[in-house]
Amino acid sequence: MANESLVPTICPYCGVGCGFYVALEDGQEPRIEYMPDHPVNEGALCPKGNAALEVLGHPERLRHPLKKTEDGWAEISWEEALDLVSEKLKEALEAHGPHTIGFLGSAKVTNEENYIFQKMARLLGISNVDNCARLCHSPTIYGLERAFGLVGVTNPFPDLANSRCILVIGSNLAENHPIVARWILKAKDRGATVIVVDPRLTPTAWLADQHLQIDPGTDVALLNGMMRVILKEGLADTEFVTRQTVGFEDLVGSLEEYTPEKVAEIAGVSAAGIVKAARSYARSPASSIVYSMGITQHAVGTDNVTACANLALICGQVGRPGAGLYPLRGQNNVQGACDMGMLPDFYPGGRRIDDPGVVEDVEEAWGASHLPTAPGLTAVEMTEAAYDGDLRILYVVGEDPINSGPNTDRAREALERLEFMVVQDIFMTETAQMADLVLPAALWAEKEGTFTSTERRVQRIRRAADPPGDAREDLWIFSQVAERLGLGFHYAGPDDVLTEINRVLPSYGGVTRERLASPGGLIWPCPDPGHPGTPILHTEGFSTPDGRGRIVPVEYKPPAEVTDQEYPLVLTTGRVVLHYNAGSMTRRSPSLAGRVPELFVEINPHDAKKLEIEEGDPVAVTTARGRILARADLTERVGPGVVFLPFHFPDTNRLTTDVLDPVAKIPEFKVAACRIGRG
């Protein structure tokens, strides 16, 4: 085609990290061209990927900095906006101290931007930094850190095809990470057995040889039950256990009461099914576990992750081709945001903030002193602190906590109590509506930088279009604010920041701009420029100090909220294939929103009959926290007694509970007690 140029980029939606090209042609709208030589997606894209450019020139994009006045939003200059942010930060720092300020980073912006944002916070003494990983995979961070010493998917997606048994637990990957289904099907083509554990009959369950339809929140019981079968039948890899792990004896003692019969009763599946799944997983020469938010978004999220790691460890199913653990992350750069230290208790490179050696290292690298040495508040705790008046200023980048957090009516009240909130985003989200100042940001196709996919694969994005109006790259905005605060950031652009990241983060040492030019990028750890990257982790022992994996026994605890006479149904939440997270992008994408335009609630026909509800009826869903309306969708995807709401629409999280996992502080999005009535 004449004058066509193809700009390679990475999909801005989920964490799989699919590549495609933005095709630019004179006088034409940019369009998508497929990238068949990308190692992960081989040219394929899910519907969201196909629709990714629809938000690019969207009429609702933020074009100017906006300040809230008594007469509504007023357009102001960047000069004024940046002065206002820095003034407010200075004031609060001087008058009340850094603990009254919170920085909420984004798993949607680049590594470079997250790195600079947290560096700015910490140089100012602010330790309240977090990102939305809190709400999706924080249990993975704490669970896998303890078990393996390193947080991340252990093997790349194409390696799934080498598995002979794949246990998918708490993940509807066919809808949420459709490209992963491609690799699972390739494994099936080679004779692999697929086990899907999910309370719903999802399209992922269609691919299964065995579907265990457990009751929501009973994962630990099921996994412990499987491990008991494995131990009793002598299917554990004792050689691996002695050589590579510690804690096995404690586990043996803890599993005694998890008999298949008892677990069957707790989890609502057959005892024979548990035995069968355990045998398939343990006997296969290479087995993988794929999990996602069905495991993490529980008050026992960290226990769930630990149970998955225990299962892999006792069977020796980790550290080899086809044998691994795949926590599927939700956002395109959630792995990167965490790597860059956008977490209250970790400096860049996943190094703990309360380790004096780490602080010393970072102080030396940054030429700074007096950096925070204690963990700050997590995202949900920041909201709590705002409610109590302890947090005064919140700087939110590319997040919509009003829609994505739990129990949003209370969250809304909390954010109203803030003295000053600045939101930096691409659209006027519900959270931005509540801000005092809104800064228009450029989106992924309008800037340069790197993303780290859930596979630990670092890939480059390139600028294919100009931001609309006065919208600017997040990196520029951060640098300007930092300059006004006297932090002396002199970065010419993202490449400069990447060079500093290469220096400061040991695992990113060899991830240089030049090496990221080819499709597929590099998989960290990649410590030096000659290193090929590390697709499979833990091949020679684990990353713990003694090189051994930690087996930590966990006990089953029922969900925080159980059904009763007033709230007799279990409400679980999740995603649908055509939408994404809080929906600020997909609900504005005509080809996606047109297919799923409004909130619906899945109800089993058996329950619907008792409640005299017909297909398409407007119904009210009520929990202890609120009442919302949704259209009834009668379907056998959910079992009797369970209802499902997608969380892409503003109302869903008004119902969810803010009970937190004690370690990871993730709210229990996946289980709440509710009742349904006519709307």
Binding residues for another protein, per CB under 8 A? Answer: 31-32, 34, 36, 41, 43-47, 49-51, 174-175, 178-179, 181-182, 185, 201, 203-204, 206-207, 577-578, 591-592, 595, 635-637
- Output the smallest distance, CB 130 to another protein, in A: 31
Q: 627: helix, coil or strand?
A: strand
Close Cβ partners of 571 (under 8 Å, ≥ 6 residues apart): 621, 623, 643, 644, 645, 655, 656, 671, 672, 673, 674
Whole-angstrom distance, CA of residue 106 vs CA of residue 135 = 12
CB of 277 to another protein, least distance (A): 21
In the bound complex, what is the minimum distance in angstroms from residue 49's beta carbon to another protein?
Answer: 8
- Alpha helices (H) along 470-578: 474-484, 494-504
Q: Which is nearer to another protein, 175 or 436 (CB)?
A: 175
- 46/619 with CB nearer another protein: 46
Show the tokens assigned to 88: 């407010």
Rg (CA), the chain: 24
Q: How far is the CB of 36 from another protein (least distance, A)?
A: 7
Q: Which is nearer to another protein, 512 or 635 (CB)?
A: 635
Nearer to another protein, 201 or 516 (CB): 201
CB of 582 to another protein, least distance (A): 20
Minimum distance, C-beta of residue 664 to another protein, in the bound complex (Å)? 30
Q: Which is nearer to another protein, 198 or 400 (CB)?
A: 198
Closest CB to another protein among 54 and 470?
54
For residue 425, count other CB atoms closer than 10 A to its CB.
25
Tokens of 546: 């003694």
Distance (Å, whole) CA 430 – CA 443: 18
CA distances from 291 to 166, 173, 389, 638 (A): 10, 9, 37, 19
Task: Assign 287 to helix, strand or coil.
Answer: strand
CA 300, CA 363: separation in Å to the nearest integer?
Answer: 35
Q: Is the Cα torsion angle 405, 409, 412, 413 positive or negative in sign? A: negative
For the CA atoms of 401, 402, 405, 410, the dihedral, rounded to the nearest 10 degrees, stands at 130
Closest CB to another protein among residues 211, 228: 211
Task: Give the pair of three-digit tokens for residue 449.
Answer: 């930088």
Cα distance between residue 114 and residue 398, in whole Å: 11
Residue type, 299: A
- Per-residue tokens: 628: 């919302």
403 DSSP 8-state letter: H
Residue 67 or 279: the one with the smaller Cβ distance to another protein is 279
**Minimal distance in Å, beta carbon 609 to another protein?**
16
C-alpha span between 604 and 619 (Å, rounded):
14
**Of the two residues 126 and 174, which places its CB atom closer to another protein in the complex?**
174
**Least Å distance between CB 48 and another protein?**
8
- Pair 549, 245: CB distance under 8 Å: yes
CA–CA separation, 15 and 435 (whole Å): 28
Q: Which residue has the tokens 């395109």?
A: 332
Instruction: Between 174 and 504, name the residue whose CB sits nearer to another protein.
Output: 174
Q: How far is the CB of 50 from another protein (least distance, A)?
A: 4
If the CB atoms of residues 30 and 506 are measured against another protein, the closer one turns out to be: 30
Is the omega angle on the peptide bond into residue 525 within 30 degrees of 0, that is, cis?
A: yes
Residue placing its CB nearer to another protein in the complex, 241 or 592:
592
Between 595 and 627, CB nearer to another protein: 595
In which residue are the tokens 């929906």 written? 583
Token digits of residue 567? 């709230």
Q: How far apart are CA 498 and CA 146, in angstroms?
A: 29
CB 301, min distance to another protein, A: 26
> Cα torsion at 96, 97, 99, 101 (round to 10°)?
70
Least distance in angstroms from the C-beta of 53 to another protein? 9
CA dist., res. 610 & res. 613, Å (int): 8
Q: Please tell me the distance from the alpha carbon of residue 484 to that of residue 482, in angstroms, as a whole number.
A: 5
- Work out how close the CB of 51 gets to another protein at its nearest, in angstroms, rounded to a whole number: 6
- Report in angstroms how near the CB of residue 180 gets to another protein at its nearest: 8
Q: How far is the CB of 202 from another protein (least distance, A)?
A: 9
First-residue to last-residue Cα distance in the chain: 54
Q: Of the two residues 300 and 593, which places its CB atom closer to another protein in the complex?
A: 593
Sign of CA dihedral 253, 254, 257, 258: negative
